[in-house]
Amino acid sequence: MALFLDSRVLDQTREGSTRERKGIHNPNSSSLSPLMAPNKLNSSGNTSTSMSCSQAENGFVNSFSLFPEKAVHELLESPVQGSDDHLIEFSEALRTVAKALRQVAEGKASAQAEAAEWKRKYELERERNNLHFEHTEKSCLEHQADLEDVRTNNSTKQSILCNDANGQSERCCSRNGICSHEVLRDGTPDSDSKSKMVRKASFKLSWCCKGERSDQYKHDIVSFERGNITTAERSSKQISLKWESCPQTVLILTKPNSVSVQILCAEMIRWLKQQKKLHIYVEPRVRVELLTESSYFNFVETWNDNKEILMLHTKVDLVITLGGDGTVLWAASMFKGPVPPIVPFSLGSLGFMTPFYSEHYKECLESILKGPISITLRHRLLCHVIRDAAKNEYETEEQMLVLNEVTIDRGISSFLTNLECYCDNSFVTCVQGDGLILSTTSGSTAYSLAAGGSMVHPQVPGILFTPICPHSLSFRPLIFPEHVTLRVQVPFNSRSPAWASFDGKDRKPLAPGDALVCSMAPWPVPTACLVDSTNDFLRSIHEGLHWNLRKTQSFDGPRET
């Protein structure tokens, strides 16, 4: 350390040097240099006190050896003798220097103690991190073994161990999300050290739900591979159905009031019973018609009440419809839960969902019963009405399942409808016009198309939001993702009530304060494809709607030069 002297001592030293150069002699001053003057003040007469400096370990001079502690203490305690002003001022300066040195010594000792404490904490933290790393590595190896067991056994209920921030393990169920473990680590070995590896941050993907009584159904549409998040691309993949056992029971639904359909139904039932040995269910009306024709059809089964209809999906392996799209809608409405595969034969006018031709029903059914078959999963909407008098959101009326669309219109009223629309509790818009259509992608070629909506591939999971004659030029249709919940409410200041219809039937009034809630149903309608879902969809819009059909431009017109 550098020895800092009082400014007054430096001034006096300069003054003394000036006097010596000028030849001025002070009789009271000593012939010794000012720095040696304190030795005269030693009461014991020890004027040979050493002032040598010792070298510290770092190569700097140790400041504390310039003045021995005992000499400094006696200097501070003993009174100053004599009346020399320079000696008195010099003694005061030395006291100031000694006080400063004492404070520096105390600060150095405190700093050394603090540094030792930090070094001890650092060693403990490094040891703790090493132990935590070894524990995490061991746990990750165990998780890798668990994941391999899951892939081998195809278990969907396997629980995976996860490590929390404190190093403790907790269990998370794979059905509630996706946990990242060993797949997050880079398994490429290092050429220099096997213990060195690149690690990625661990995370978990979970599906947000409102609770057990949620009106939303969550689909697992995210795959997880080595820490990368990718979608499952459900809409772009063709779905195939392969029978693990031969179908045993068939349900046949027909279009009413059609003689040609009755004749085809009787012929098909004979062939299925005699050639395929199948159990056959029909509607009560159809069974009466068959028995009126011949008593041969006594083997045909039917149901007696709605309770038996609810259990049809547990008995029926395959559904055959003879009619148009309306017959397919009727077949879907009979099943309030899971729906068996439907084979729709075209005996109607348009036939967007009926790709099979009745003239070749034997070949078609032979191929379908043998399998595998391509199917289209047609999504349905789950709708329910919440009245203004309801105490909570779960106090609703009977749920309705629709395959095409739910329509909210003004009915016979001459006033515009006034509807407040929300998406997952976020305000969307206020509809003022003739009404609103909430459609599935299968229903995009029905009422929604006529109201200006887009045509959408039936396997695209989404909900179409199409206004009916809106009183605004900027009101364009929307397409929402499948996981949202839409709520349409009639405000209290509405001039008239609205009316809701579900697939064109079951109309219900919506008074001011009432709300209609729609979300994607968990049970789609699987319909068999003639070729595949895309080919059938394009064929239906080309043949049924004559989509983009025009006369081809001739080659003998004007040419560019």
What positions carry a catalytic annotation?
Answer: 325
Are 332 and 404 a contacting pair, CB within 8 Å?
no
Farthest CA pair distance, the chain: 155
One-letter amino acid at 55 equals Q
Quote the Cα angle for 223-227-228, to 5°.
55
Q: Give the Cα separation of 232 and 221 in Å (integer).
A: 5
Closest CA to 500 of 490, 361, 126: 490
Q: Give the Cα separation of 532 and 57 in Å (integer).
A: 87
Q: Give the Cα separation of 343 and 241 in Å (integer).
A: 13
Are 215 and 395 a contacting pair, CB within 8 Å?
no
Q: Give the Cα separation of 71 and 101 in Å (integer).
A: 14
**Close Cβ partners of 235 (under 8 Å, ≥ 6 residues apart):** 457, 459, 460, 461
Q: Give the Cα separation of 441 and 198 in Å (integer).
A: 45
Q: Give the Cα separation of 443 and 55 in Å (integer).
A: 94
Within 43-84, where are the H helices? 69-77
One-letter-per-residue 3-state SS of 264-329: HHHHHHHHHHHHHCCEEEECHHHHHHHHHHCHHHHHCECCCCHHHHHCHHHCCCEEEEEECHHHHH
Q: Give the Cα separation of 196 and 134 in Å (integer).
A: 13
Q: Give the Cα separation of 497 and 180 in Å (integer).
A: 52
